[in-house]
Amino acid sequence: MNTLWNRCGGLIALLLCAGCASGPRYAETVSALPPIGSGNGRIYIYRPSSVGALVQPNVRLNGEKIGKSVPEGFFCVDRPPGQYEIEVTTEVKRTLSLSLEAGQTRYVRLDLELGYFVCHFAPVPVPPLFGELEIGKCRYIHRTLTEDETNAPPTVSRSSPSP
């Protein structure tokens, strides 16, 4: 009986870890990112918790898919000044409207909400100092860039093998 419980516990731990971000941490990534392009601003989107690890909905910016809500992960996009709507959808849609100015850096945390069937993630604006502190615990999520994303940060690779 103990062997069965050990195997089940190991399987659950494996599934939870498989859903977490595995790239380099924010501190390793931020120095490798190009500066914000002239006339653009940058939006960091992050999910600091691993709770609800199996639920990883897409994140959209003005209707365009820009990434996924990966546990303990972050990504960023550079965009021109303007109004933006960030959307995360599971069984319900949660949105955040924000404005972006040239040279500005915005932080958006994906907060967990309990739902009837699955967890929901609501985008929440975070002040820069607090956002930079929280995102420090997260890992970079590789994004597949679309052709029209001209000023997006590159994929950052780790120079040393992970432990």
Helix (H) or strand (E) holding 109: strand 105-113
Cβ-contact 88, 121 below 8 angstroms: yes
Q: Which of 74, 71, 75, 73 is nearest to 119 (CA)?
A: 71
Residue 43 included in any domain: yes
Residue 24: give the domain boundaries.
Answer: 2-140
In this prediction, residue 119 carries a pLDDT of 84
The answer to whether residue 161 is domain-embedded is no
Distance (Å, whole) CA 118 – CA 110: 15
What was the pLDDT predicted at 155?
Answer: 39
Q: Look at the chain and report how many structural domains it folds into.
A: 1
Cβ contact 112:37 at 8 Å? no
Q: Could you read off the pLDDT of 115-141 as tens digits, one per residue? A: 878 888 999 999 999 999 999 999 998
The arithmetic mean of pLDDT across residues 87-101, rounded, is: 95
Sequence-distant (6+) residues with CB within 8 A of 88 are: 57, 58, 59, 60, 69, 94, 95, 110, 120, 121, 122, 123
Residue 154 lies in a domain: no
Instruction: Please give, one letter per residue, the 3-state secondary structure of 73-84.
Output: EEEEEEECCEEE
In a domain, 90, yes or no: yes
Whether 148 maps to a domain, the answer reads no
Residue 91: pLDDT band (50, 70, 90) is: confident
Measured distance CA(160)–CA(74) in Å, rounded: 20
Cα-Cα-Cα-Cα dihedral sign, residues 66, 72, 76, 81: positive
- pTM equals 0.75
In a domain, 24, yes or no: yes
Which amino acid is located at 147 in the chain?
Answer: E
Task: Determine, yes or no, domain membership for 80.
Answer: yes
Note whether residue 159 is domain-resident: no
Give the type of residue at 60.
R
Alpha carbon distance 21, 32 (integer Å): 18
